[in-house]
Structure 1
Amino acid sequence: MWNKMQEQQDRPASDDQEKVDPPLPSPIKQFEAGYSDRWSKQLLTWGVEARGIRPVHIDQRTDTQFSKIFFIWFTMNFNILSFSAGTLGPAVFGLGLRESCLVILFFNLLCCILPAYLTTWGPKLGLRQMVQARYSFGYYGVILPCIFNLIGMCGFCILNSILGGQTLAAVADNDLSWSVGIVIIAVISLLISFCGYKVLNWYERLAWLPVLIVFVVALGVGGKHLTNPPPSEPATASVILSFASTIAGFVITYSPLSSDFTSYFQPDVSSVKIFLYSYIGFLLPIVSLQCLGAAVAINAPLVPVWNTGYTDGNVGGLLEAMLRPTGNFGKFLTVLLSLSVTGNIAATFYSMSLNIQVFIPWLVIVPRYVFSLLATAVVVPLAIVGSHRFYNTLTDFLGLIGYWASAYGAIILLEHFLFRRGDFTLYDLQNWNLPRKLPTGVAALAAGIASVSLIVLCMDQAWFVGPIAETTGDIGFEVAFCMSGILYVPFRWLEIRLRKDT
């Protein structure tokens, strides 16, 4: 298979391709061809990654440190946002600790499969995740999922920035405003993301360790309050499914950026190994911190100091209150905890910069790191505006964002397994940037859009509850996956028959 892929990438480009995608010999030469200022060239010599969505040639996929992908996902999720998502079970949905933890465990066991599996495609194709989506959604059709993906990533960065800012403000006894805290968190994340793949991987490999120490200390001083959770009312199936939809929205939305971090890996690496690294990297931090968040939230009303810190859903204040018995050391630990979100924001900024180039294809000539600056400029003001409605923002966002990602996953998987027979050599990598050589995307868009009518009936949001959801709870992400997949098969078959493409 690798010989076929090597031939695919080595064969001469067609005239059409040279017009659309002229060959550029190396990142530094590419940059020198269009940009002459000395500062930007110096960034490249320092190791700042300029490569955007252009395919990573098979000869350049040489990275053998495959455990990197475990640390990417582990650090991205070992933070206070995962903790906050767990608090939603008791705080918003009124679930007891047992019901919350069971939902967290079983739905994460299921939903981590899709993003973990898609990470295995990066080494095989050398393509970023949303560039891979062009082989089902088409060159122009992929713009729509790109928009949804950018909204989702922007939303996660906003939520993380709010949490980091709140936590910093809590340490300063509110002498530091949430807004200033948000700016500090965003700037630190920008610096990490700006440098690109190598620096990002180095940071993600180390950044989880101080966070682990903080949570161990927090459990050491506050664990005695978690031993006897108060009883709760029996949970209904609809409430459980609504919370499950929120939990699914947390992890399944990693699917559209899964391969962004594995496209430099050696192509002959075992897919099972990459899958397991990724799956455990998702599952371990998410389940542990979400369950901890649920346990702390359900016991917070019984601990006066915690309850005061948790006023108006201030998760940062709650965590600061848990660490307060350790004095000034606790303040230091809380600062470390506030920085836990930078690992998620930095990696998300990295993927956002790639998605912008897919969204607006002619921006492929602009170095990737420029878009990290743009992402920061968008996220900071929105985080400041939304910082005082955190719980409403978190619940509404996670509930909605899972619908489109679920439909996206179904379409991508069916294209791969049914229409390309699970064979990576059937992705002609020479065509990645040629609209006429790619599918039109009509089938994928039609399947996704046509499924919306049923998804709406199954939604359970604060501002709308569909008639089906009134009985079942929110089953929108399950319906999105099934309906878009069912519709895609005949639509794509018809598209192939009409265009005679693959």
Structure 2
Amino acid sequence: MSYTGPSEPRKNESSDLERQELDKTQAPGPSSHGKHALWKSLVWYQRLIDAGIEENGIKPVPIERRTSTQYSHLFTVFFTCLLCLLPLPTGILATLGFGMSLRDASLVILFFSMLTCIPPAFMGIAGMDTGLRQLVLARYSFGRYLVTIPLLLNAATVTGFSLVSAVVGGQAIASLNPDKVSINVGIVITCLVSFAVSLLGFNAVHFWERWTWIPNLIAIIIAVGCGGKNLYLQTEVEPATASQVLSYGSLIAGYFITFGGTVSDYSTYHNPTGVSKVKVFLYLYSGFLLPSVPLLILGAAIGGAIPNVESWAAAYEATGVGGVMHEMLTPAGGFGEFIVVMLALSVIGSIAISMYSVSLNLQMLLPPFAKVHRFVFIIITMAIMIPFAIRAAEQWEESLINFLAVIGYWAGCFDAVIIMEMVVFRRMDFTTYDHAIWNVARKLPPGIAALGASLVSMALVVPGMAEPWYTGPIAETTGDIGFEMAIAVTALFYLPFRWLEIKWRGHL
């Protein structure tokens, strides 16, 4: 292929007017006071700023303000986010929903996790090197306007993960006294506690995730120690079929590759100089993988034992995963109930980073939204999330299966586009992501190549889907291969489509 590549990005050809516009809208750091004058004139808002709330939203972070050298935070932010109750229901689906043995489920979890953690960990490198939030960076592939499509899908996905976390946290709280405290009340309590962490922003999120993995880990170990004696009571099943493996593997893919829509949001203030990209990748990769695999397997073990432990089966029927954890901790008496509360609160880290990212997504939807502070959108998100979580809890397993599988399809397309753009067309030269054009539609790609390649992939994604409400003709034989088709076909077609787009425009 012959095209005007990264060696000729034309990043210095933006007009003086565009450069002036960048100067007006350039991002302040987490503790700066450069927000819109209307907000600064409000006394209560200024008090929030003085308390440490992050003022910047979606605007690019210039290199001089990317000063953090605590790269291990890139590990702990995701390690803590996933070291909680969140992975357990997905693990339970393997044995209780898909009818797999614990051995087969563990192998699927291990190998699909190792594979599907790679795309988001690789994409996370770009946040530090560009200073761009993940969906702002996506404008350099999808364009200023067509990026709205992945923007809405990502906001829905992130909110969906918050729903899952809120439900399992609410189930744990309700299990303490199901006659007086409903799952709905537990959901509300979990969401309200998570609100404060996400409200304060980047530094608060990283600080919370830096340390709270410790009580989370202790609580999980105690729960397994108290109730692990029943985990060996696994249901005997036939060896897993290829269809079962691929269908459950697609859920694992949906669990991990969707982080590609948020991962760079947490590295935009990190200094890109003097640190190996391999080191950053490994921090992110291990942050996804290390907490998730053991907890997914624990969930699979719990799911395989539920039909054979009467008290667990009754608790699962009444209050879901939280109820089972409460039963596991029953031998510890009152101390066990305290541990249940700790387990319920373990999901705060997951909900907090989800709320943080979705508020950024909502700021990008329309130009006037960028002037509205992020905390307003956090409040809106929470107001929407609570009733949806309550509704999802009513049909828990079906809601979770549908959610995890469907999000994997669009996320596969998105990750493929962003990675191909980074590697093939920009050759990992992050200076080609010119801050001067981040909000200038005519300078950004039109997004036709990105959206076109994604839509073409649907020709094989839809026949390869296996959902409770639809099974495609290919999936009837193979099992669910939708996310594999989304990634492979999108990447394949993005190459010629983007090449033609660049030839037509004369530059990236």
- TM-score (norm. length: structure 2): 0.94
What is the match of residue 271 of structure 2? 266
Alpha-carbon distance in structure 2 between the residues aligned to 1:221 and 1:318: 12
CA deviation vs aligned residue, 1:128-185 (integer Å, no higher than 9, x gap): 0111111110111111000110110111111111111111000123311111111111
Residue 15 of structure 1 corresponds to which residue in structure 2? 17
Displacement of 1:466: 0.2
Out of 89-98 and 449-458, give the one that drifted further. 449-458
Paired AA for residue 444 in structure 1? A
Within the candidate set 332, 339, 350, 1:344 is matched to 350
Residue 242 of structure 1: which of 225, 247, 260 is its match? 247
Partner residue, 2:386: 380
2:437, 2:444 within 8 Å by CA — same for their partners in 1? yes
Aligned mate of 1:227, from 206, 213, 232: 232
Offset at residue 299 of structure 1 (A):
1.3
Deviation at 1:31, TM superposition (A): 3.6
Q: Deviations over 1:401-423 (max 9, x none)?
A: 00110111111111111111221
Q: Check conservation: 2:123, 2:418, Cα contact below 8 A.
A: no
C-alpha contact (below 8 Å) 1:406/1:478 kept by paired residues: yes
CA displacement at 1:14 relative to structure 2: 2.0
Counterpart AA for 2:375: Y
Aligned sequence identity (%):
43
Return closer, same or farther for 1:168/1:132 CA change in 2, 3 Å cut-off. Answer: same
Provide the C-alpha distance between the structure 2 equivalents of 1:129 and 1:464, rounded to a whole number of angstroms. Answer: 32
- Pick from 428, 451, 454 the counterpart of residue 448 of structure 1: 454
CA distance in 2, matches of 1:256, 1:303: 39
* Residues 1:101 and 2:101 are matched in the alignment: no
Distance 1:308 1:469, change over 3 A: same
For 1:86-485, list aligned pairs within 5 A: 86-227=91-232, 229-268=234-273, 269-311=275-317, 314-485=320-491
Flag structure 1 segments of 5+ consecutive residues without an equivalent. Answer: none
Structure 2 counterpart of 1:214, which letter?
A: A
Residue 490 of structure 1 is matched in structure 2 by: 496
Contact kept? 2:53, 2:199, Cα under 8 Å:
yes
The one-letter amino acid of 2:438's match is: W
Contact between 1:226 and 1:295, CA under 8 Å: does it hold in 2?
A: yes
- Structure 2 residues not aligned, in runs of 5+: 1-6
Q: Distance between the aligned counterparts of 1:64 and 1:145, measured in 2?
A: 31
Q: Deviations over 1:379-433 (max 9, x none)?
A: 0111112211111111110011001101111111111111112211222221111
The CA RMSD over aligned residues, in Å, is 1.9
Structure 2 Cα separation of the partners of residues 65 and 381 of structure 1: 37
User: Could you tell me how far 1:20 is from its partner in structure 2?
Assistant: 7.6
Verify the 8 A CA contact 2:191 2:382 in the aligned structure 1. yes
Deviates more, 1:369-378 or 1:453-462: 369-378
Provide the C-alpha distance between the structure 2 equivalents of 1:228 and 1:220, rounded to a whole number of angstroms.
Answer: 16
* Alignment CA distance shift 1:66-1:13 (3 Å): farther
Offset at 1:312?
6.0
Deviations 1:89-140 (A, max 9, x none): 0111000000000000000000001111111111110000111111110111
Aligned length: 496
Note the C-alpha offset of 1:52.
0.5
- Give the 3-state SS of the residue equivalent to 2:329 in structure 1: helix
- The one-letter code matched in structure 2 to 1:273 is K
Alignment pair present for 1:49 and 2:54: yes
TM-score by length of 1: 0.95
